[in-house]
Amino acid sequence: MLKTSSRPDWDIFCQVIDNFGDIGVCWRLARQLRSERQLRVRLWVDELETFRALLPEVDSGRSIQELHGVEIRRWETPFVSPLPASVVLETFACRIPEAFVAAMAQQAPPPIWINLDYLSAEAWVAGCHTLPSPHPRLPLNKFFFFPGFSRATGGLLRERDLQARRQQFTADAEQQRRFWHQAGGAPRAGSLLISLFAYENPAIGKLLPLWQAAGTPVCCLVPLSRPLPAIERYAGRPLKAGDVVRRGALEIRILPFLEQDAYDRLLWLCDLNFVRGEDSFLRAQWAARPMVWQIYPQQEAAHLVKLDAFLALYCRELPAASAAGVHEFWHAWNRGPVDAVRWQNFAACLPTLREHARNWQEALAEEEDLSTRLLSFARSRL
């Protein structure tokens, strides 16, 4: 049975469907609402082990714990409902417990109930953002909240001090030295630094030999995750965190799965970031560096529509040759085939893409962030 605590301002429900993105997003938001707005946040998570990968302080054996000012609750079944907060955020269409919904309906006025959806650049998002969905039996409305890139959406998750922290880190040789110390030492001077986070992807096996044959050194940093088997096949041996593979111009460093803040620092330092899903994809944009996105695969290739919607937006201000290079390579990365020509065309665009990534980041950072829009919306309904 769960202990009850005093009523918080926000309840956030997170179901770890697979991977790290669900808890990655929920944790960032919970922490931000606490640190920037001093809100009392209770975060319900059904899978604390996954959470611990991003935040090693999490004790997966505890039902209740407080970290960084956020109350973290293991989402247990059966669920004994405490008094709901005044704002209830269910994330990514996870179904919050019936007992909790019933408790919400007993409150007058009832809490503001929001479903936070996945990030997409598709045009339909603006039309669905903040639409209500009445509960079939109870006097409750749930509102759909869509993050997005336009003003007519819920915006993007971004901490107030993110840009300042990045700029400070990238200007501070001592902080970087400490980072590299933990990541196996400073890379060879003049290396193209690449971080690699992806799903299983046959293109990895095609790309590594191309980097091996490159004219300049390539240092590829791989936090332990699903690309590992492809790298082991390339290396011809089992690999673990701390291992290094050197062939030709290529050095591959296998890193442990990093704490979320350390992963940000890796993105800030690399010349090119391969990212996936939702949260790392967005963090790579805040890193203001060129990136390659492997989108979360969906049935009937629905994800390719989402990929193209983002590409259309991202490439709008690019010269035609660079836009084509990005489009071709990202498509090859997502559905094959990656070959030398596509990689070389893409690599030739990197200087342009670096400048573009800076402009893109600056333009996005001028907009209100997701937490601000969530709070304004909640206030407007209270």
Q: Which of 8, 24, 155, 187 binds ligand TRH (CB under 6 A)?
A: 24
Catalytic residue, chosen from 22, 90, 264, 369, is 22
Contact 154, 374 (CB under 8 A): yes
Which CB sits closer to ligand TRH, 91 or 322?
A: 91
**DSSP one-letter code for 130:** T
Which run of H or of E encompasses 50?
helix 48-54
Q: Which of 13, 15, 22, 326 binds ligand TRH (CB under 6 A)?
A: 22
* Count of residues interacting with ligand TRH (CB under 6 A): 23
Q: How far apart are the first and last CA of the chain?
A: 31
Q: Is 362 a catalytic residue?
A: no
Edge to edge, the sheet with strand 250-255 lists 244-247, 250-255, 218-223, 192-196, 272-276, 291-294
Which CB sits closer to ligand TRH, 224 or 375?
A: 224
Per-residue binding letters, 80-119, with ligand TRH (x by CB under 6 A): --------------------------------------x-
Give the nearest residue (CB) to ligand TRH.
21
Rule CB under 6 A: say whether 225 interacts with ligand TRH.
Answer: yes
Q: Which of 10, 13, 197, 329 binds ligand TRH (CB under 6 A)?
A: 197
Cα(362)–Cα(356) distance, rounded to whole angstroms?
10
Rule CB under 6 A: say whether 144 interacts with ligand TRH.
Answer: no
Which tokens sit at 58?
A: 């999490």
Q: Which of 41, 45, 54, 254 binds ligand TRH (CB under 6 A)?
A: 54
Whether residue 109 is preceded by a cis peptide bond, meaning omega within 30 degrees of 0, is yes
Binders of ligand TRH in range 117-136 (CB under 6 A): 118
- Give the closest residue to 145 by CA, choosing from 93, 84, 75, 86: 93
Per-residue binding letters, 289-328, with ligand TRH (x by CB under 6 A): -------x--------------------------------
Cα(84)–Cα(105) distance, rounded to whole angstroms?
10
Q: In degrees rounded to 5, what are phi and psi of residue 359?
A: -65, -40
Q: Which of 81, 260, 334, 361 binds ligand TRH (CB under 6 A)?
A: 260
Q: Is 117 a catalytic residue?
A: no
Rule CB under 6 A: say whether 179 interacts with ligand TRH.
Answer: no
Q: In degrees rounded to 5, what are phi and psi of residue 255?
A: -105, 160
Cα(366)–Cα(352) distance, rounded to whole angstroms?
22
Go through the chain and tell me how many residues it has.
382
Residue ranges in contact with ligand TRH by CB under 6 A = 17-22, 24, 54, 118, 197, 223, 225, 257-258, 260, 263, 276-281, 296
| Active centre residues (catalytic) | 22, 278
